[in-house]
């Protein structure tokens, strides 16, 4: 789909392979607290998504969920880890769920930490705003007024004291180039397109109505305190995937692996057996 790419990928630990896939506005850096805990049990592969962090930022094709899912499958094949387990956060988990639907057998288990799933009103409003002429250039200019502040304001934790200047640089600096800000624009406009989300939900509805199970064992890990993706998304997603195991985690956020890494690592280890 994307052609040859340079993918920044951190590898550590020993044992069976496990992919950790970050979400929107973050990078592989978001797993900095949980990685040492999981590396005691798994060989971790922690990439920056195409268009994020220190990976290539292709401008074509469209950043459709299906395209990013195909990249993920090709990433596995390149590293000879097809069929491994995966832990995804937010948009990363959404991409992984698309991969599981489109390529059955690509994962042995998928842990979804608070992904979006439904075409909510705010996403329709975002789509309308980004459809205005000059919106990509406007986003680039807004970010470049203060990229570190942009990152600081758009990442939310249950414990806001966890934020740091280092983190603001990690997330903000890649957005200062036109390629970086355009990649963010494409994630917002194309990956989170409400029509794409509705098509995803339609796939899950069709699976449920036909009596077929989700292609891989699925654990849904959602926080009750999340300003980014309403907790109700987890409840509705669990209803669409009856075979999924639903776990609620308290005193944490959309980025539970940052707020509560010890608790999340224990839940991941339990899920992956």
Report, as an integer, the average pLDDT of 242-262. 95
Distance CA 46, CA 108 (A): 17
Q: What is the pLDDT of residue 50?
A: 97
Degrees, nearest 5: CA angle 117-121-124: 85
Give the helix/strand (H/E) hosting 91.
Answer: helix 91-102
Q: What is the pLDDT of residue 32?
A: 97
CB 263 within 8 A of CB 249: yes
Sheet containing strand 245-249, edge to edge, reads 9-13, 42-47, 16-21, 85-89, 110-113, 218-223, 245-249
Q: Does residue 2 register a pLDDT over 80?
A: no
Q: Does residue 114 register a pLDDT over 80?
A: yes
Question: Sign of the C-alpha dihedral, residues 31, 98, 203, 199?
Answer: positive
pTM of structure: 0.97
CB 158 within 8 A of CB 225: yes
Distance CA 45, CA 222 (A): 23
Q: What is the pLDDT of residue 157?
A: 93
> Looking at domain 9-120+196-272, which CATH architecture does it have?
3-Layer(aba) Sandwich (3.40)
């Amino acid at each position: 789909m994307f052609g040859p790419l340079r993918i920044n990928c951190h590898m550590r630990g020993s044992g069976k392979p496990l992919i950790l896939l970050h979400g929107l506005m973050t990078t592989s850096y978001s797993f900095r607290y949980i990685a040492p805990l999981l590396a005691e049990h798994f060989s971790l592969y922690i990439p920056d998504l195409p268009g994020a962090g220190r990976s290539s930022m292709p401008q074509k094709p469209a950043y459709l969920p299906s395209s990013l899912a195909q990249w993920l499958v090709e990433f596995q094949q390149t590293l000879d880890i097809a069929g491994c387990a995966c832990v995804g956060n937010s948009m990363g988990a959404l991409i992984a769920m698309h991969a599981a639907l489109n390529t059955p057998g690509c994962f042995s288990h998928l842990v979804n930490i608070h992904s979006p799933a439904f075409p909510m009103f705010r996403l329709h409003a975002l789509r309308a705003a980004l459809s205005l002429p000059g919106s990509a250039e406007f986003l680039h200019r807004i970010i470049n007024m203060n990229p570190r502040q942009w990152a600081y304001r758009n990442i939310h934790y249950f414990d806001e004291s966890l934020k740091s200047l280092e983190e603001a640089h990690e997330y903000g600096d890649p957005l200062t180039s036109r390629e970086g800000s355009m990649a963010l624009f494409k994630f917002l406009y194309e990956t989170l397109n409400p029509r794409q989300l509705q098509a995803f939900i339609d796939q899950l509805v069709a699976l449920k109505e036909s009596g077929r199970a989700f292609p891989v064992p699925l654990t849904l890990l959602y926080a009750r305190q999340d300003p980014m993706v309403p907790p109700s998304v987890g409840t509705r997603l669990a209803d669409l995937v009856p075979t999924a195991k639903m776990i609620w985690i308290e005193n944490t956020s959309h980025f539970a692996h940052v707020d509560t890494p010890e608790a999340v690592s224990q839940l991941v280890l339990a899920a992956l057996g």
